[in-house]
């Protein structure tokens, strides 16, 4: 995949979703755009429950394993590769999925992609992996 396509396509999707959110908050009666989000504290509880959600980190593999790392048991599926992974994710159509990125914007795009594909319980991590790390919750680079 070319570098411009790798970076530009998600940026366009991100700004498109951002614009939808701005329009929805300014004129909720005219622009219906709904998504689900989960806080890092709630996700920490869910991850440590007897039925943890599927965690999908939509950052690049280098970001996933670099820096402070990623949330344990998260899968690395960059946002541009989500659609090509639908077959592998098919068993999670009715199960809880939480998407994440550093700040929470790209994970909202991932929520929209998965919801349009028929996944019924998809959430974005509010504040993203940066907020998870700031709270001191565990991360790994393995």
Beta partners for residue 75, in sequence order: 56
Coil, helix or strand for 32?
coil
The band of 89, judged by pLDDT with boundaries at 50, 70 and 90, is: very high
Sorted by where each starts, the structural domains of the chain and their CATH numbers stand as 35-134 (3.40.250.10)
Task: Give tens-digit pLDDT for 93-127.
Answer: 999 999 999 988 889 889 989 998 999 999 999 99
Interhelix angle 105-116/3-26, rounded to 10 degrees, is 90
Question: Averaged over 86-97, what is the pLDDT?
Answer: 94
- Lookup result for tokens 């670099």: 66
DSSP conformation class of 114: H
Task: Give tens-digit pLDDT for 26-63.
Answer: 655 554 445 689 999 999 999 999 999 999 999 999 99
pLDDT of 19 higher than 70: no
Report if pTM > 0.75. Answer: yes
């Amino acid at each position: 995949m070319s570098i411009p396509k790798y970076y530009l396509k998600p940026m366009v999707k991100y700004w498109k979703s951002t614009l939808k959110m701005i329009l929805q908050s300014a004129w909720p009666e005219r622009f219906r755009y709904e998504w689900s989000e989960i806080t890092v504290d709630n996700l920490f509880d869910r991850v440590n429950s007897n039925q943890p959600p599927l965690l999908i980190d939509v950052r690049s593999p280098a970001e996933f394993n670099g820096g402070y790392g990623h949330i344990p048991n998260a899968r690395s599926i960059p946002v541009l590769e989500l659609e090509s992974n639908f077959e592998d994710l098919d068993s999670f159509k009715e199960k809880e999925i939480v998407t994440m990125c550093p700040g929470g914007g790209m994970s909202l795009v991932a929520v929209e992609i998965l919801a349009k594909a028929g996944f019924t319980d998809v959430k974005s991590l509010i504040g993203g992996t940066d907020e998870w790390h700031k709270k001191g919750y565990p991360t790994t680079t393995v």
